[in-house]
Structure 1
Amino acid sequence: MEEYDVVIAGGSISGLMSAREIAKKGYSVLVLEEGFEVGTPDHCGGLVSKSALHDLGVEPTQKTFDSMINSALIYSPSGKQIEIDSKNQKVVVVNRRELDKQVARQAQQAGAEIRVKTSFQEKTKHGVRTSIGEIDCKILVDCRGVGALINNQRDGILLSAQYEVYADWITEGKVEVYFDQIKYPGFFAWIIPSGKGVGKVGVAGREINASNMIEGFLRNKGRYSTIRKIFAPIWIKGPIKNFVSGDVVIVGDAAGQSKPTTAGGIYSCGMAGILAGNAITKYLETNEYPQLQQYQKFWHDKFGKEFEKQRLARKILEKVDNKTVDMVFDTITPEITSEISSKDDFDFHATSIVKLLGMRKSLSAAQNIMSAEIKRMLTSYSHTKASKV
């Protein structure tokens, strides 16, 4: 029977980051990827800041890097728009398939072993049962993605569709976001350019027919050619309660570590992989279980408060109607968009969302369009601002 210190179920960026960190310390690691290829299926938009990639220990290669993002156009249901300049945030679009392969190469060079078309089946007393037989291990890292959450927590799942398309109406360097609570309840439609005339177009929402919605969105935009289609559930409820259970460590989408606002997770899930890998190596060195549990503490120290604010923003979006969204757009001044544009907070954007919701207006005016959750965000924002003065 094969034996490893750590087996990782899922060749996602979180699993590969974990493998890299553990292998660096000389421990044996096996990554099991059930697909034919690391990096597929690619249902990620690929937006991430350069600073986040630096934190993850990744410098984009020519294959990995698609384009820079200069601005974002955000549309209300009635067609009102605001534009956010993102040059200061240094946001890039990466080719997610190539990014995962780049991290896989880092993990392999550190000493990890990766096997594709090999699936995890169940945890056993001494290790795991897989499609190629039983394997002994001391720790199982579960990075199987959103699918691991679907059966038990359906209320946190939204349906999404994302097509890669060629179209003249895709503007290089400009992300577009479309809110419509009838078509995309609780979420939005998006266009993420990966170059001139090419990009990813997607929709997501609660209990929608994602296929019909994206086809309708594309028809309204104009002529296009589709070269790839991906349908996938996305998770927007935030982190699960426990990241560590016995000798099982849960990381990435399987732990609910994608942003509640956008479901993006390159940074938060990738960093979780690094934090989990470091905690696992400490545990293997000392055989002290509290070292393993430090992973959850470190992740919450870095992302917990931000994710809680994003969850509040999520609750607001799920409650408001199109009329309210249009009213919110009316409160957004050029001064607010200019202030947001000057920030470098792409990965921690809750404060910018607060400003976009009109929080800089007087409370009496804001009360007309704010729920109790927005008022809580206002209080939190005011306290944070006061503490900095």
Structure 2
Amino acid sequence: MIAGGSIAGLLCAREISSRGFSVLVIEEDYEIGTPEHCGGLVSLTGLEELGVIPFKKTFEHMIESAEITSPNGNSFTINSKKQKVTEISRRELDKQIAFQAQKNGAVIKVRTSFQELTDKGIRTNEEEIDCKIFVDARGVSSLIHKDRTGILSSAQYEIYADWIKKGKVEVIFDQEKYSGFFAWVIPSGEGKGKVGVAGKGIKVAETLDKFLKDKGEFSTIRKIFAPIWIKGPIKNFVEGKTVIIGDAAGQAKPTTAGGIFTSGMGGIYAGQAISEFLKTNNRETLEEYQKKWTVRFGKEFEKQVLARKILERIDNNTINKLFETITPEIINEVSEKDDFDFHTGSIIKLLGLRGSIKTAQTLIGGEIKKLLG
């Protein structure tokens, strides 16, 4: 029984049903893939590992560059062709994976919400359902009662605007406007895309409206307001007969809150472990899920959490100074890196930290040693 019909829940369902076990996915919204909170960036290698070759309507286009702008307006552009990052429609990607799961035998129900655990299974808004394992894939909403300190408010609008260029992502840092995070522009084609902001203690709607007004003419097609989680994985992915996956397990990247690949792999590893448990009834097999995910992503996430702490502690003046140290050689080196999902190496280079550890240590203390380790 899986609550949450997003990417992690659906991949988990696909894995369990492919091994001959019955699985029901319930989604509280009226449609799989809606509302689309996600920016939609994922590497082709990541999609391949998730077992997805995008349908034509899932695939939007390839991202060729990322322009990164400092608070004082200085910017540099990274060539991202080597990373093979694509912008996809999350609505269509989720539906594509739902189709894979259904073909394997999974049953999917929308407009059905999880209410509580019972002795034999769970209670939904419609009925009680018996199940051996309950999978919590309900996203950040599951974390709100556990730890609010890891949650930021975010707003993302889908807009039409001629200043959005196909293939070019924009990231804008400004600690006064987007404290501890940034603003972003992700194209879904020429003249259309997703524009968003997130930050600590900011009024996201007002902040995004101001950002758009400064940018130029635009038309808004859709508005989404959603919390994002930036604190890394929770302590236990398995609690009793509950298995926690995706955003609910903190499997989104602490640096960007993106998690198509990292959360998706959480769903796959959990599905494999649950299938093994259903076959053997050995609880140790369930623990394999957290071990596998941590071996794959644990170190990278630790470094991303540290990079996030650094971002939270530096002011605009420091960011402007760091931008001044970024040379064409550093930009070329980062452009040559081909791993979109393990990117703290690029962050270290861009911050100029290897070359100026003394300066960096004065700015951010001993945490820098851990980041470089």
- Alpha carbons 1:165, 1:200 under 8 Å: kept: yes
- Alpha carbons 2:8, 2:137 under 8 Å: kept: yes
* Secondary structure at the counterpart of residue 341 of structure 2: coil
Aligned-pair distance for 1:365?
A: 4.2
Q: CA separation in 2, counterparts of 1:373 and 1:367? A: 8
- 1:122 corresponds in structure 2 to 116
- Alpha carbons 2:360, 2:368 under 8 Å: kept: no
- Alpha carbons 1:235, 1:263 under 8 Å: kept: yes
- 1:257 corresponds in structure 2 to 251
- 1:95 corresponds in structure 2 to 89
- Alpha carbons 2:237, 2:245 under 8 Å: kept: yes
Q: CA separation in 1, counterparts of 2:274 and 2:358? A: 51
- 1:3 corresponds in structure 2 to none
Q: CA separation in 1, counterparts of 2:171 and 2:360? A: 23
- Alpha carbons 1:327, 1:369 under 8 Å: kept: no
Aligned-pair distance for 1:131?
A: 1.2
- 1:334 corresponds in structure 2 to 328
Residue type matched to 1:183 in 2?
K
Q: 2:6 aligns with which of 12, 15, 18?
A: 12
- 1:246 corresponds in structure 2 to 240
* Secondary structure at the counterpart of residue 138 of structure 1: coil
1:274 corresponds to 2:263:
no
1:67 corresponds to 2:57:
no
Matched pairs, number: 373
1:188 corresponds to 2:213:
no
- 2:352 corresponds in structure 1 to 358
- Alpha carbons 1:279, 1:292 under 8 Å: kept: yes
Aligned-pair distance for 1:361?
A: 1.4
- Alpha carbons 2:11, 2:267 under 8 Å: kept: yes
- 2:167 corresponds in structure 1 to 173
Residue type matched to 2:280 in 1?
T
- 1:288 corresponds in structure 2 to 282
Aligned-pair distance for 1:99?
A: 0.3
Residue type matched to 2:368 in 1?
I
Q: Residues 134-191 of structure 1: CA distance to partner in whole angstroms, max 9, x if unpaired?
A: 0000000000110011122110000000000000100110000000000000000000
Q: Residues 49-87 of structure 1: CA distance to partner in whole angstroms, max 9, x if unpaired?
A: 000000000001111011110000000000111111100
Aligned-pair distance for 1:364?
A: 3.4
- Alpha carbons 1:328, 1:369 under 8 Å: kept: no
Q: CA separation in 2, counterparts of 1:266 and 1:311? A: 18
Q: CA separation in 1, counterparts of 2:233 and 2:371? A: 19
Aligned-pair distance for 1:375?
A: 3.2
Aligned-pair distance for 1:330?
A: 1.1
- 1:151 corresponds in structure 2 to 145
* Secondary structure at the counterpart of residue 210 of structure 2: helix
- 2:206 corresponds in structure 1 to 212
Q: 2:80 aligns with which of 86, 93, 97?
A: 86
- 2:314 corresponds in structure 1 to 320
Give the 5 Å matches for 1:369-388: 369-378=363-372, 380=373
* Secondary structure at the counterpart of residue 253 of structure 1: helix
Residue type matched to 1:218 in 2?
L
Q: Residues 201-241 of structure 1: CA distance to partner in whole angstroms, max 9, x if unpaired?
A: 00000011000000000000000000000000000000000
- Alpha carbons 1:120, 1:129 under 8 Å: kept: yes
- Alpha carbons 2:155, 2:204 under 8 Å: kept: yes
Q: CA separation in 2, counterparts of 1:285 and 1:364? A: 55
1:311 corresponds to 2:324:
no
Residue type matched to 2:170 in 1?
E
* Secondary structure at the counterpart of residue 344 of structure 1: coil
* Secondary structure at the counterpart of residue 146 of structure 1: helix
Q: CA separation in 2, counterparts of 1:181 and 1:366? A: 18
- 2:339 corresponds in structure 1 to 345
- Alpha carbons 1:88, 1:343 under 8 Å: kept: yes
Residue type matched to 1:266 in 2?
I
Aligned-pair distance for 1:197?
A: 0.2
Q: CA separation in 2, counterparts of 1:261 and 1:318? A: 11
Identity, in percent, stands at: 63
Q: CA separation in 1, counterparts of 2:52 and 2:58? A: 10
Q: CA separation in 2, counterparts of 1:345 and 1:368? A: 30
Q: Which runs of 5 or more structure 1 residues have no equivalent in the other structure?
A: 1-6, 381-389
Q: 2:134 aligns with which of 122, 140, 148?
A: 140
* Secondary structure at the counterpart of residue 68 of structure 2: strand
Q: CA separation in 2, counterparts of 1:244 and 1:47? A: 28
Q: CA separation in 2, counterparts of 1:291 and 1:103? A: 25
- 1:108 corresponds in structure 2 to 102
Q: 1:29 aligns with which of 6, 19, 23?
A: 23
* Secondary structure at the counterpart of residue 143 of structure 2: helix
Aligned-pair distance for 1:368?
A: 4.5
Q: Residues 270-294 of structure 1: CA distance to partner in whole angstroms, max 9, x if unpaired?
A: 0000000000000011110000111
Q: CA separation in 1, counterparts of 2:365 and 2:324? A: 17
TM-score normalised by structure 2 residue count: 0.99
- Alpha carbons 1:316, 1:371 under 8 Å: kept: no
- 2:225 corresponds in structure 1 to 231
TM-score normalised by structure 1 residue count: 0.95
Residue type matched to 1:32 in 2?
I
Residue type matched to 1:121 in 2?
Q
Q: CA separation in 2, counterparts of 1:227 and 1:332? A: 37
Q: CA separation in 1, counterparts of 2:247 and 2:169? A: 24
